[in-house]
Copies of this chain bind each other. A is one copy, B any other.
Amino acid sequence: MTYAERLRTITAERGRLCVGIDPMPSVLDAWGLPHDVDGLERCARGIVEEIGGEVAVFKPQSAFFEAFGSRGVAVLERVLVDISEAGAMSILDVKRGDIGSSMAGYASAFLGDDAPTRADAITVSPYLGVGSLKPAVEAAVAGGQGLYVLARTSNPDGGSIQLADAGGVSVAQHVVDTVAALNPAAEHAVGLVVGGTHGDPGCDLSRFNASILVPGIGAQGGTVTGLAAIFGDALPNVLPTASRGVIGHGRDKVSALAEELLAELATI
C-alpha cells in the first residue's frame, strides 16, 4: 500500500489524530521522571504503551531525543518500533533539509526498509528549495513512506520568510503548489506542515492533494473548532496534532485526554 492509502486506512479505523511525542523537560517533570536518558525512555515509550492501540499516528520530535546524544537516538529507534508494533503510524519530526548526497544520507537514515531510524514519514524543510528534497521524495515513494514539507509554521516568526513574495505568491504558497505538482507522480506521499494557529495561513490549500499535518492544537493555541474555519475545503486532508494537551499532564491523564480529543475531532 502507498503511504496515502495506509494513512487513510488507519485514520478511518482510529480517528484523525496525531499525538506528538515531545519528551521535553516540562513533560518529564509532569510525569515525575528525571531529566536523563532513562526518564526520556520511560516517558516516550510510556506514551505508546498508554495509547498506542487507540491513536492513529504519533509524531516523535527528534530534538528531545538528540538532546541526549546517540543514546537518545537509540531510544528514538525503539520508540519508532514500539509505534509500529502497536499498529499505529509514525511521523518523525526532524525537519531535515540539505542538498544532493547529504539529503540522500538523511533519506537512508529515516526512509526505506533498512533505515536504522525508520519512520512511516518524516518532516522536511524546503529552505534549500523543494527540488533539493528529491532524494527523500524518491526514497519515500519507494518505501511506501511519506514526507511532510514545512509550508507555514505555527510560530509568530515564521512569516518573515514564509510570507515573502515568490513570484506573485507567498513562499508558503510556492511550497504548496510545488509539492502538489509532485504528488501525481509521487503516489500522493508528499504532504505539508501548516500550523493551526493562524486565522489566515497565507496560502490556499483548497486544491492540495495529500495529507496536511497541523501542529499547534492545544498548548500552542489552535483549537479543534478553529480547524474548519482555517482549512475550509482542505479539512478532509488535515491531520490535527496535539502534544502537551495530551501528554503534558502526567502519564495517568494521557489516555483520557486522547479520548476526549478524539471525540471532539469526530464532530468536525
Contact = CB atoms under 8 A, between A and B. Distances in A.
A132 B175 CA distance: 20
Q: Would you call the interface of chain A mostly helix, strand, loop, or mixed?
A: helix
Interface in A65-85: 66-74, 76-77
B171 A155 contact: no
A100 interface: yes
Which residue, of A77, A166, A175, has the highest number of chain B Cβ atoms within 10 A? Answer: A166
A161 B63 contact: no
Interface residues of A, number: 62
A229 interface: no
Contacts of A97: 95, 97, 125, 127
B174 A101 contact: no
B157 A96 contact: no
Interface in A42-99: 61, 63-64, 66-74, 76-77, 93, 95-99
A63 B158 contact: no
A241 interface: no
A219 B29 CA distance: 49
A73 B128 CA distance: 24
A132 B117 contact: no
10 contacts: A24-B105, A63-B102, A63-B109, A70-B76, A70-B117, A129-B156, A129-B159, A131-B157, A164-B165, A164-B174
Given A69-B74, A131-B156, 19 more contacts: A63-B102, A63-B106, A66-B73, A67-B116, A68-B109, A70-B73, A70-B116, A95-B97, A95-B98, A95-B125, A128-B155, A128-B158, A129-B156, A129-B161, A130-B157, A132-B155, A161-B166, A164-B165, A164-B166
